[in-house]
Structure 1
Amino acid sequence: MSGVGPIEPGEGTTPRDTPDSLDVEGTSRGSGHREGSPLARLLATHRRAVLAAATAVLLLAGGGYLYATRPHESQPAAAAPPFPSQVVDVTYLGGHAVPPGTRPRTFAFDVLLGVESGPAVTVTRVSQPYDGLSLTSAPPTPFRTRAGSAREIVITMHVTECGKVPRNAGLPFLDVTLRNARAIQVHSYILGPRYAQDLSEALQVACSNDSR
């Protein structure tokens, strides 16, 4: 036959396939988009935005978790109040007249009890070391004294048995039971030479006859 028909493409002359198309959901059906194409750049930008948002959410969630579980910083502990014996002072003031009609062999004297600082102190008991003496106080125990104040106390003693009291009291003392918010303590207060002398004289007068 003569004539020229359509030219058949030769081997190796077939044009390259066009880029794979996207489906309706925007996912590639082929091996991927070529780098640098407008669509590839758009997808890369979208992925970076999603990753940045997810990272921010994780960081915020992680920070909240750390904050919630971080132990609270310990506050400095409040200083404990002082022991009552550290802030109480007892001072001897001198003899005190006993009322008329008081039973024989009884005498009295005054002391001043002061509380320097800290919580209030309660005196629950006042006593002395001699078996032959009984003791009462006015005000009667228990009584309370606030910090920064002082209270005058009348101590009255009665000789119950002269054979059990010293004729010459060398270093007589009072045992005072103290209580505050910190502790309960029994403290011995030596009231000094003046108290020792007055107590010795009172005992000699009380036990000077044979009615011991």
Structure 2
Amino acid sequence: AAVLAGGGYLWATRPVPVPPAAPPFPSQVTRLAYLEPQAGAPESDVRRFTFGVEIQVDSGPPVTVTRISQPYGGVSVISAPRAPFRTKAGSPSKIMITFRVTDCGNVPRNAGLPFLDVTLRNTRAIQDHSFILGPRYARDLSKALQVACGNDFG
């Protein structure tokens, strides 16, 4: 009986392993930074605007970008690499994004605070996140929309 009691006591007071911490949500560890409009020869199609962004995951498991979009109904988006693609922590990646104006009536005259909508996925969650890329991006995008639409704004 003493052996059973001692064994029961040892089992009841054993250290309980602490479960590993859950990985961070993908939007908490992912950064997107505007780099520049595409350098070199001007676009042959004035309704296109190509620019670079850098994606960086600060920590945790890899993050997969499953979708990139923007809020304007009159603009389509294509990325290179095409989504889905994965980025590992500590390995920033460059993404080239091309906007193409398809309907000037659904494009703002001035993109004052534009953002990119990005769907991010890691082992913890899938999240839609809007990245504000700053004043240089807003200025470059507004200029590109003016060139693309000229007097055709609705």
Match of 1:200 in 2: 142
String of CA shifts for 1:182-208, please: whole Å, max 9, x gaps: 111111000000000000000000111
Change (3 A) 1:76 1:200: same
- How many residues get paired? 154
Match of 2:2 in 1: 59
Look up the equivalent residue of 1:59 and give its one-letter code: A
1:167 aligns with 2:109: yes
Please point out which of 63, 87, 102 is paired with 1:121: 63
Asked if the contact 1:95/1:198 (under 8 Å) is kept, the reply is yes
Match of 1:188 in 2: 130
Partner of 1:86, secondary structure, is helix
Look up the equivalent residue of 1:82 and give its one-letter code: P
TM-score by length of structure 1 reads: 0.66
Unaligned runs of 5+ in 2: none
What stretches of structure 1 move > 4 A for 4+ residues in a row? 97-104, 209-212
Higher relative contact order (CA 8 A, sep 6+): 2
Match of 2:93 in 1: 151
Instruction: Please give the alpha-carbon distance, in whole angstroms, between the structure 2 residues aligned to 1:172 and 1:194.
Output: 11
The percent of aligned pairs where both chains have the same amino acid is 60
Unaligned runs of 5+ in 1: 1-57
* Residues 1-212 of structure 1 aligned to structure 2 (within 5 Å): 58-60=1-3, 62-64=5-7, 66=8, 70=12, 73-97=15-39, 103-208=45-150
TM-score by length of structure 2 reads: 0.89
Structure with higher strand content: 2
RMSD: 2.5
Match of 1:3 in 2: none
